[in-house]
Structure 1
Amino acid sequence: MIDQFRKYTPLNILLLSVVGVLLCLGVFTHLPEGLTPVFFEPAISNFTGKLYQGTVSPELNVVITLALTIVQALLINQVVNTANLVGRPSFLAALMYLALASLILPFLVLSPILICNFLSVWMLSKLLSLYRRTEIKPLMFDLGMIVALGSLVYFPFIVMLLLLWGALIIFRPFDWREWLAAFIGFITIYFLLGVLYFWFGQLDAFYRIWLPLTYPFPTSVHIEMYDYLVLVPVILILVLFLFTLRQNFFKSVVHIRKSFQLLFCMLLLTVPSFYLNAELAVNHFLLCVPPIAIYMAYYFNYATKRWFYESVFALLLLTSIYFQFF
């Protein structure tokens, strides 16, 4: 399968859809109770209301999630190929994204994190183009607005503001105007939202939006045992990626090196930001899928022993499918 997705051919779009359906079969045959439809943070739901359980059927919930995930996989694949992050055009990034986004049951249902991943991919496409631009203040303003919009859908997305500043450190010499532009773009959205709350006489509710910033950092999170076990193949692939990256790191152009540093910064920010979610749900880690998918695509692009890398990827798929059925 890896060899097929190394090719940049439209046939892989169809094959990607087939893989997506296979990875969801376990959910269709064992639809769990309590599948929740997409919802928003109180910042939006205070005005729009909440979607209730009967709004979206469990079957439709999974189908919509699969369709959105496939679209995201194709989008991130386009970003990776445009930036030439893995060496040559392929569909490996799309395949890795789909495999990771279908890894555990909480990833396979509609959630605000799934919506935010569209924004994550959009941000990556813009951040990876920083090195080509001479004037980026308008771009940073736009990125600040994107982060603010994402935080209205899922509040922990607010940490991406730090990612914008991290990207400036990695790609650009220091210019305080560029740093300020990102922050101004961010506060512009919340200023307009605050005006809306004030207009409707709900200013107290606006202040409550920021309560997650006061949460204590949790000392433990309840995660099912099988969620740990399905991570074993992922960790193995990431270790193999590190060995491959070490061999090729200084052979790569400077932009590629900095791009991988940016992805690491993204991963470093999204993992601990789960404490900003009052429910501490495991589906938060869906935000980690874009950078990890690119890392995995890099390894599989440079792997040479076919029997080994095909076996490793098969282990990833089989582990995911097994725990869905059993």
Structure 2
Amino acid sequence: MVNIFRSYNPIVILWLAVLVFVLRIGYLVNTPDRLEFIFVESFSRLLVPVSYEYALSPFFNVLLATLLVFIQALLLNTMVNYFNLLNKPSYMPALMYITVSALFTPFLRLSAPLICNFLVIWLMYKLFSLYKGTEVKSTCYDLGLIVALGSLIYLPFSWIFLVVFIAIIIFRPFNWREWAAVIIGYATVFFFLAVVYFYNDRLNRFSSIWLPLGGKFPTSISINNYTYVLLVPVAVILVLSVYKLQQGFFKSYVHIRKSFQLLVAYFLVAGLAFYVKTEFQLNHFLLCAIPVAITFAYYFLHATSRWFYETLYLLLVAGIIYFQFNTF
């Protein structure tokens, strides 16, 4: 099945559409009676002065999330092929994103991290464009805006600010104006938010927005046992992907090498930012789905033993569907 997506035939999009529903069939059949959807942080709730948390039925919630994942998969695939990150065009990034974003049931519903992945794709496109840009101060300003917008939706996204600066270090010679443009872009959004606070006579609460960023890192995380079972094939594929990347790393163009370095930095920062939320939620790790999907795509696109990679992928898909029907 994987071999179908190694080509760049547009007809493959139909197979992607089928697969995105197949990987969510168990949750669509056994949709919970009530699902909450919060797409802005409490401090930016003034910008959305209506009650929306339970406006969608649970089934439509999951259905809309499925549609968003499909759109994100196509956008991600277009970006990866545009920058030639995998050395040849295919629909493998889209396949891997659809798969990774279905790993756990919290991933299958509408959530702030899922919405933020649109911003992550936009952010990555602009970050990868820094390498060949000559005058990029406007791009840097846009990057600050994107991170700020993501922060209004999901506060842990604020830590992606570090990723932007890491990208500038990786792709650009030092220019303080570019760094300043990022800061100004970020500050612009929060300046207008401060105006809203002032208009609503709440300016005294504005400084408390970033307090969670300074919280203590948790010493333990509670995760269901079945989650660890699903992580076994994920870990195997990740190890194989890293090994495959290492084999061709120094044979790749400089831009591709730098791009994968950036993806590693993003994965680490986004993954560790979960502590900002006082209550741990597994759907936070949707923010890590994009770099993982690109890395997995590299392995499945360049692997040579067909029976092995096909079997490995089928085991992962079988595990995803099985645990949707059996949550224990």
TM-score above 0.5: yes
Query: After alignment, is 282-291 or 270-279 more displaced?
Result: 270-279
Aligned partners of 2:73 and 2:93 also within 8 Å: yes
Aligned to 1:211: 211
Return the alpha-carbon distance in structure 1 between the equivalents of residues 18 and 72 of structure 2: 16
Return the offset for 1:256. 0.6
Aligned partners of 2:34 and 2:57 also within 8 Å: no
Is 1:112 matched up with 2:98? no
Aligned partners of 1:42 and 1:209 also within 8 Å: no
Is 1:278 matched up with 2:278? yes
Return the offset for 1:51. 4.1
Give ranges in structure 1 of 5+ residues lacking alignment.
Answer: none
Aligned to 1:241: 241
Return the alpha-carbon distance in structure 1 between the equivalents of residues 201 and 52 of structure 2: 26
Q: CA RMSD in A?
A: 1.2
Return the offset for 1:165. 0.4
Return the alpha-carbon distance in structure 1 between the equivalents of residues 29 and 216 of structure 2: 39
How do 1:259-278 and structure 2 match up within 5 A?
259-278=259-278
Task: State the AA in 2 paired with 1:259.
Answer: S
Query: After alignment, is 268-277 or 218-227 more displaced?
Result: 218-227
Q: 1:5 to 1:267 in 2, by over 3 A?
A: same
Aligned to 1:100: 100
Query: After alignment, is 29-38 or 228-237 more displaced?
Result: 29-38
Return the alpha-carbon distance in structure 1 between the equivalents of residues 228 and 202 of structure 2: 42
Task: State the AA in 2 paired with 1:272.
Answer: L
Give ranges in structure 2 of 5+ residues lacking alignment.
Answer: none
Aligned to 1:167: 167
Task: State the AA in 2 paired with 1:224.
Answer: N
Aligned to 1:2: 2
Aligned to 1:55: 55
What secondary structure sits across from 1:131 in the alignment? Answer: coil
Return the offset for 1:52. 5.1
Aligned to 1:150: 150
Return the alpha-carbon distance in structure 1 between the equivalents of residues 47 and 179 of structure 2: 32
Is 1:181 matched up with 2:177? no
Return the offset for 1:208. 2.7
What secondary structure sits across from 1:55 in the alignment? Answer: coil
Return the alpha-carbon distance in structure 2 between the equivalents of residues 36 and 276 of structure 1: 20
Return the alpha-carbon distance in structure 2 between the equivalents of residues 150 and 137 of structure 1: 20
Identity %: 49
Q: 1:242 to 1:140 in 2, by over 3 A?
A: same
Is 1:90 matched up with 2:90? yes
TM-score (norm 1): 0.97
Return the offset for 1:6. 0.6
Q: For residues 167-186 of structure 1, what are the alpha-carbon distances to aligned partners after superposition, in whole Å with 9 as ceiling and x for unaligned?
A: 01111111111111111110
Aligned to 2:315: 315
Task: State the AA in 2 paired with 1:222.
Answer: S
What secondary structure sits across from 1:132 in the alignment? Answer: coil
How many residues are paired up?
A: 326
Task: State the AA in 2 paired with 1:88.
Answer: K
Q: 1:229 to 1:49 in 2, by over 3 A?
A: farther
Q: For residues 222-254 of structure 1, what are the alpha-carbon distances to aligned partners after superposition, in whole Å with 9 as ceiling and x for unaligned?
A: 211111211111111110011111110111111
Q: For residues 52-87 of structure 1, what are the alpha-carbon distances to aligned partners after superposition, in whole Å with 9 as ceiling and x for unaligned?
A: 554111100010000000000000000100000011
Aligned partners of 1:267 and 1:291 also within 8 Å: yes
Return the offset for 1:276. 0.9
Return the offset for 1:50. 6.1
Task: State the AA in 1 paired with 2:248.
Answer: N
What secondary structure sits across from 1:174 in the alignment? Answer: coil
Is 1:224 matched up with 2:224? yes
Return the alpha-carbon distance in structure 1 between the equivalents of residues 211 and 280 of structure 2: 15
Aligned to 2:41: 41
Aligned partners of 1:92 and 1:297 also within 8 Å: yes
Return the alpha-carbon distance in structure 1 between the equivalents of residues 127 and 241 of structure 2: 23
Return the offset for 1:43. 2.6
Is 1:28 matched up with 2:28? yes
Return the offset for 1:46. 3.1
Q: For residues 103-157 of structure 1, what are the alpha-carbon distances to aligned partners after superposition, in whole Å with 9 as ceiling and x for unaligned?
A: 1100000001111000000001111111111111110001101100000000000
What secondary structure sits across from 1:35 in the alignment? Answer: coil
